[in-house]
A and B are shown apart, each in its own frame.
Chain A
């Protein structure tokens, strides 16, 4: 099963690279997305199908992230096919190849139970996504790609050093040196403390860079705003959670070693700081794709903070991974449509999206309400549950700050979003040929229905999945 999920997208990527037709090649992406999604559902339904190796195991955390990645990619694949048809002039061989290979690598991250392998997979996602960000070949996208490569490579280098430190912490304790999660969890209490703590901090900074936690988030707004919209959606909704999964694994090891008190403080601080930084840049933001990027920084901050609060907020945090991914996909898709309709991302040129592209404009507005945690959408449930967790754990200051920052984000984003959707479109914008099509809007409606469903009623299998994960973290198999 593991091999099918990881190798199938990579095989399809190779096929895309071999296919000569620029017109038919993009259709391989929806095929890959649909098959991958079916395989994921099958893998979740049949937990007895293992890879037969300690290196590739699908644990409850991996299941949640895999479900997020695969669902988002499924919708994204149709949108991407529409996007590539819209820019038919560009050669899309590199895009199709990298996009599908990217899916395979993210599946590898979710299955990997060997921290060295996880590291290799995360580094490989950096390489696979760099050409995607660079797709439009404007000077601005070159700049974004350069920053992305440089900042993430340094972050990932620190992640490797942290992985080495972790391996040494078992070597120093006189245990057999291992990087498999089973081995580390079994011997967690005996691991050498100074090395374990140093490893946690290095991994938090290293993978935190990839995850977009402030102050290492500097690559994120550029990469997310300059990349094509399907890529931005995958980066924000799927890749950042993969980096979060690596931090979650490290947290798990530290928790098993009895060090929750040590690790939760940096997580809490970093989470709140990320939310604060995102607020500062969200207020008065003129570029609406950049606004979505800073919103990702904010939500990654929420995830880090939720993990820092610990046991009581875990359910909400893990649910938030899923709902954030789906909602952000919806927002990036509709923002992409608005961008195509106006040829600009700045609120100085863009107004009246509700009239110019009625469906995308409306969905953009609805997506804004969803992502800022208004009922009845999914993020409301997860954020409320995290807030509850904070108060249950007696962290009143954290909870209060969280509420305040959410309010600032709502006001800041609201101002930008309303400028985009209200008013009248300029003559220049009305004369552009772009119209909403089935391929460009159906995926958004699909995501909206899912987000709404998760807000009104969480299906029993998903609740069970998240409860399993919480129990898994608390040490019960």
Chain B
């Protein structure tokens, strides 16, 4: 079981780097969608017994992370008719290298955190920290509002990976809360993205400078 889990997490890590290195926004959205759908499968692997709560978590997380939110983002992208490139602050290659460094750092750092006996051997903690870091890099280095939202989604994915350690022990309320907030948060952000577009005729957050000191 751990082998399969680790292979999925390695794919997730590679998708992180792919999201950092790709130039078209649509590809970033698709990458994050695939990542979300893969992560939605994880609770199935971690649970010995199959229960309705787990089934619900899996179905809702795949539906939200894999289908609904990326669908909304692609629609927003079509509606606002912006340029399809991500326009990063630093070069794409530099951000990929930063992401790789972040992953290495996560692997080293995770070694220092002790794990419960039945979690040793799994890559959950380093994968979670690395994905959070990549989410941060995406958030900081992109100017387009939509790209920043994608960075936020990657960040949330990282937190979701860490939640896998707790999926057995905690009541499902916390997980549902994550998904619900993810959904509502993105929904509101989407509305605002549209408003930014109307008010500034661009979704470039560099235009949002009138409140600088």
Question: Could you list which residues of chain A lie within 8 angstroms of chain B, going by C-beta atoms?
Answer: 116-117, 119-120, 123-124, 126-127, 130, 134, 139-140, 142-147, 149-150, 153-154, 157, 160-161, 163-165, 167-168, 171-172, 174, 176-177, 179, 192, 194-195, 198, 221-222, 225-226, 281
Question: Would you call B177 and A140 a contact (CB within 8 A)?
Answer: no
Question: Would you call B173 and A222 a contact (CB within 8 A)?
Answer: no
Question: Would you call A171 and B165 a contact (CB within 8 A)?
Answer: yes
Partner among B148, B166, B189, B199 whose Cβ is within 8 Å of the Cβ of A177: B166
Bound CA–CA A161/B161 (angstroms): 10
CB of B169 within 8 Å of the partner chain: yes
Pairs of residues from A and B, 5 with the lowest C-beta to C-beta distance, nearest first: A177-B169, A143-B208, A116-B174, A120-B177, A222-B211
- Which B residues touch A167, using CB under 8 A? 166, 169-170
CB of B163 within 8 Å of the partner chain: yes
Closest partner residue, chain A, to B205 (CB atom): A146
Question: Would you call A194 and B152 a contact (CB within 8 A)?
Answer: no
Q: How far is the CB of A188 from chain B (nearest CB, A)?
A: 18
Q: How far is the CB of B142 from chain A (nearest CB, A)?
A: 12
Question: Would you call A157 and B152 a contact (CB within 8 A)?
Answer: yes
9-residue interface stretch from B9-17, B64-72, B100-108, B110-118:
B110-118
Secondary structure call for the A interface = helix
- Which A residues touch B195, using CB under 8 A? 134, 142
Closest partner residue, chain B, to A192 (CB atom): B114
Known: A139-B200, A172-B114, A226-B211. A149 touches B166 (CB 8 A): no
- Which B residues touch A174, using CB under 8 A? 116
Q: How far is the CB of B69 from chain A (nearest CB, A)?
A: 14
- Supply 21 A–B pairs (Cβ within 8 Å), ascending by A: A130-B188, A140-B210, A142-B192, A142-B199, A144-B211, A146-B196, A150-B152, A154-B139, A154-B152, A160-B159, A161-B159, A164-B165, A167-B166, A167-B170, A168-B165, A172-B114, A176-B169, A177-B169, A179-B174, A221-B211, A281-B213
Question: Would you call B184 and A154 a contact (CB within 8 A)?
Answer: no
Known interface pairs A134-B192, A157-B156, A161-B132; 20 further A-B residue pairs with C-beta atoms within 8 A, sorted by A's residue number: A116-B173, A117-B173, A119-B177, A123-B177, A130-B188, A130-B192, A139-B200, A142-B192, A143-B210, A144-B211, A146-B145, A149-B185, A150-B148, A153-B185, A160-B178, A164-B166, A167-B170, A172-B114, A194-B112, A195-B113
Question: Could you list which residues of chain B lie within 8 angstroms of chain A, going by C-beta atoms?
Answer: 112-116, 132, 139, 145, 148, 152, 155-156, 158-159, 162-163, 165-166, 169-170, 173-174, 177-178, 181, 184-185, 188-189, 192, 195-196, 199-200, 205, 208, 210-211, 213
Partner among A124, A168, A176 whose Cβ is within 8 Å of the Cβ of B166: A168
- Which B residues touch A165, using CB under 8 A? 162
Bound CA–CA A195/B181 (angstroms): 25
Question: Would you call A157 and B200 a contact (CB within 8 A)?
Answer: no
Question: Would you call B211 and A143 a contact (CB within 8 A)?
Answer: yes
Partner among A124, A127, A140, A192 whose Cβ is within 8 Å of the Cβ of B211: A140
Closest partner residue, chain A, to B199 (CB atom): A139
- Which B residues touch A177, using CB under 8 A? 166, 169-170
Bound CA–CA A164/B165 (angstroms): 9
Bound CA–CA A171/B116 (angstroms): 8
Known: A171-B169, A179-B170. A116 touches B116 (CB 8 A): no
Bound CA–CA A117/B173 (angstroms): 9
Closest partner residue, chain B, to A152 (CB atom): B185
Bound CA–CA A130/B195 (angstroms): 13
Question: Would you call A194 and B199 a contact (CB within 8 A)?
Answer: no
Partner among A140, A143, A172, A226 whose Cβ is within 8 Å of the Cβ of B115: A172
Bound CA–CA A139/B114 (angstroms): 49
Bound CA–CA A154/B153 (angstroms): 10
Closest partner residue, chain A, to B136 (CB atom): A154
Question: Would you call B189 and A127 a contact (CB within 8 A)?
Answer: no
Question: Would you call A164 and B192 a contact (CB within 8 A)?
Answer: no
Closest partner residue, chain B, to A285 (CB atom): B213
Q: How far is the CB of A130 from chain B (nearest CB, A)?
A: 6
Question: Would you call A153 and B116 a contact (CB within 8 A)?
Answer: no
Closest partner residue, chain A, to B174 (CB atom): A116
- Which A residues touch B113, using CB under 8 A? 194-195, 198
Closest partner residue, chain A, to B198 (CB atom): A142
Q: How far is the CB of B72 from chain A (nearest CB, A)?
A: 16
Q: How far is the CB of B83 from chain A (nearest CB, A)?
A: 19
Partner among B165, B192, B210, B211 whose Cβ is within 8 Å of the Cβ of A149: B192
- Which B residues touch A281, using CB under 8 A? 213
Bound CA–CA A142/B202 (angstroms): 13
Bound CA–CA A165/B166 (angstroms): 10
- Which A residues touch B156, using CB under 8 A? 157
Q: How far is the CB of A307 from chain B (nearest CB, A)?
A: 26
